[in-house]
Chains A and B, each alone.
Chain A
């Protein structure tokens, strides 16, 4: 099973600042890029932001971008908006044990 480790656990930033979130896999994810990022606001279901490491999902603003391959992945939010303060999860798929999630990174207002 592929284990995903997210860092940092909590990120304290101000609106307008840049956020950089990391996700490291214990081994190469399937096809080196089968990695997704989700946003979860309080009381809401997760929302897909990025799939296949760098493709933005439908309706996602371009301030969200994903990069990386193999075992090291990054989600970048170029300029934080008030609605971006939430918890972010990475997820790998395509393995024989289909899905695993990272432990999450909370982006909080500084």
Chain B
């Protein structure tokens, strides 16, 4: 299957700082990537759809100015959590979409802890 990497795998930051998470498709090109957030014992929550060369599409209730997404190439999308607060602590997971039949391959996730 297709391989997606994420970096870093975990990060601890102080409240008010910004954190950047990278998502890379290693062996295929992905025009579309997705960013999810998952709190403990809860289901995946789609945050935004990232399209190469265009602005991301955010789900309702997700602040686009707080969660900055950049998809500058066909293999790299980044999520920047700006002015992080403790409530932003979560497991952030990216996925890359294959056009047919539409499966997603997930990165290993990034565990963010904001102190």
Is the A/B pair a real complex? no
B residues lining the A interface (CB < 8 Å): none
Give residues in A with beta carbon < 8 Å to B.
none
